[in-house]
Amino acid sequence: MCANVVSLATLLKKLPRPRSDLARRILNPSGNWAPLNPEPTPSALFIEPTFTRLSGGDDAERCDVILVQAAAGVGKSLLANCMAVMSGNVLVNLSADLQVGANYYRGGLSKAYQADAWAISSAIADGEAALVIDGLDEALVAATVPNYDASLSDLAEVLRSRVDVDRSLASAVLLGRPDSVERAVHVLTAAGLRCDTYAINLFGEHEQAQLIGQLAERKFPGINRNQFDSLVAEFLSLIRATLVARS
């Protein structure tokens, strides 16, 4: 694998794994905050992508925030859900609210966890838990740039107390299109946070065939996967040959 290309497993190693008592608190909010999904649902239709590192240091250097960018329709929301499931951290879906602004994250965590809000917020600040935040694009469009920036400044306040903790672990993952990610990097970097940015790599023929095979199994239980996968591989190969011939 190219030095700048990393696996999902590598990204997940940069996230903390909440201890068991903290994980129970994370999964049992006592309040109500629309964007918070305390217990993401695993997906049967998930093929792990790879990522290209666009900015940031190597895996040993400190990292406060991971930002993942991709065009529309690539699967950012599914990825966010799966990252939250695999790491045991909090999933925040901004598209469920869109009214981001000043005090959005600090107030949201208080609404969600009430009596446990201080413990959860402290764990995030101390590198013992993380926020996986999806829907940057929707939030930027709906809230306008000033409110979007204000919400990111508030997120920086949630993370800012990370002074003497393991800086190789991130306390937040943000997912969005390149423009919303670029804006987020600008605001968070100005607030003194270290941001590592990655792009989701598009699937190659192997991953495309895997996904098509999973869809076929769900649609037609009992299908002969070996035969089906051979047909799909041949079909994708023909498409590629046709595109090359026309280029």
Residue boundaries of the structural domains of the chain:
5-200, 205-246
Average pLDDT of the residues in 84-90:
92
How many Cα atoms occupy the beta-carbon half-sphere of 196 within 13 Å? 27
**Reported confidence tier of residue 127, pLDDT bands at 50, 70, 90:** confident
Alpha-carbon distance 160 to 118, whole Å?
15
Question: Cα separation of 129 and 22, whole Å?
Answer: 8
Whole-model pTM: value is 0.84
More confident residue, 61 or 66: 66
Which of 116-120, 146-150, 234-238 bottoms out in mean pLDDT, i.e. has the lowest? Answer: 234-238
pLDDT, mean of residues 4-23: 91
- The share of the chain scoring above pLDDT 70, in percent, equals 86
Kindly state the tokens that stand for 153: 């400044």
The pLDDT value given to residue 234: 75
Quickly name the fold that domain 5-200 has: Rossmann fold (3.40.50)
- As a whole number, mean pLDDT of residues 77-81 equals 92
